[in-house]
Structure 1
């Protein structure tokens, strides 16, 4: 059975460079046999959080929110691709994730961050670890930090230069770690119902 993985990307900016990393990850995970889908927060376009999905009566949530809830529940694992805004997480990605809670539970999550500078979104990466853990996901220890993004991946999401070579070296461990936890979590959910 192929791992069902959702890759979340959250920038709403006009000239989004992080989409290169999201596309690289989708292609890389797909090449390893996973069933991967990119969830672009800008394309989903949920409103600023007013009500969580669970706060709507059955059948009354906005269609985009209900459709995404079904995809999250059906997924085996998640990858969050995040930039860093003023030492913090992207508001678009944070807004999207906050619309859900129980839907995330008991599945592994991985974090890949990027920035235009040499710190590669590392501060946002660290912040997302705490956020995703609080939301009930098992966050894997392997992460990717990519920067400067424009000197690591070209417009077709192909690795370039020393940064691209480093990303290609780091990706297999990241993907292996996610695959291990995905299989472990799926087996445990099949063996025993989650405690809540």
Structure 2
């Protein structure tokens, strides 16, 4: 499966990148083509025009390349931190540049924070956003907190919190892959209704 792991913090000392890298590594180890899409590295401008609002061939190069990668993906994982009870603006901005490109593929949510709530409030907001953008959200989620006690600087699990993440990941990944296979099979059988 081609899986995009999307991450959106622009902070200089961002810790959530550890979770994004962990997910890319573990999904890849399962035989998937998993890739990190880092909003900071992609560098899309603050939303003015969506991809579809540009004339054909006139979208910025980074936007055009990302649109193609999104269309080719089988599933998505949104790695979200929590800023003032809400989602990170960088990830939301990247996501909002596209619409139809997301349709008919499942999304999973992995949240994190420095504290014990593990980004749960941002996760719940993404549960409302992603279906509106044409992505069914899988039932399993990952919630990691405190992030610094769970993954080290090399994105390797550490201590009891890291062991718990390893156990949670297996169900999370199997759930995502099941939904991606189901969606792919249905797209082969029938044209989506819109």
Q: TM-score range by the shorter chain?
A: over 0.9
Aligned residue among 96, 99, 102 for 1:101: 99
Report the CA distance between 1:68 and its aligned residue: 0.2
Q: Which runs of 5+ in 2 are unaligned?
A: none
Q: Which runs of 5+ in 1 are unaligned?
A: none
Q: State the match for 1:130 in structure 2.
A: 128
Aligned ranges for residues 31-50 of structure 1 at < 5 Å? 31-50=29-48
> Following superposition, which runs of at least 4 residues in structure 1 exceed 2 angstroms of deviation?
none
Measure, in 2, the Cα distance between the counterparts of 1:134 and 1:65.
Answer: 21
The alignment's C-alpha RMSD in Å is: 0.4
Q: State the match for 2:78 in structure 1.
A: 80
Q: State the match for 1:192 in structure 2.
A: 190
Q: State the match for 1:16 in structure 2.
A: 14
Measure, in 1, the Cα distance between the counterparts of 2:120 and 2:26.
Answer: 21
Residue 149, structure 1, aligned to residue 124, structure 2:
no
Tell me the TM-score normalised to structure 2 length.
0.99
SS at match of 1:69: helix
Q: State the match for 2:63 in structure 1.
A: 65
1:7-51: CA deviation from partner (whole Å, max 9, x where unpaired): 000000000100000000000100111001100000000000000
Measure, in 2, the Cα distance between the counterparts of 1:130 and 1:103.
Answer: 18
1:149-170: CA deviation from partner (whole Å, max 9, x where unpaired): 0000000000011110110110
Q: State the match for 1:115 in structure 2.
A: 113
Measure, in 2, the Cα distance between the counterparts of 1:125 and 1:163.
Answer: 19
Q: State the match for 1:161 in structure 2.
A: 159
Tell me the TM-score normalised to structure 1 length.
0.98
Number of aligned positions between the proteins: 194
1:136-188: CA deviation from partner (whole Å, max 9, x where unpaired): 00100100000000000000000011110110110000000000000000000
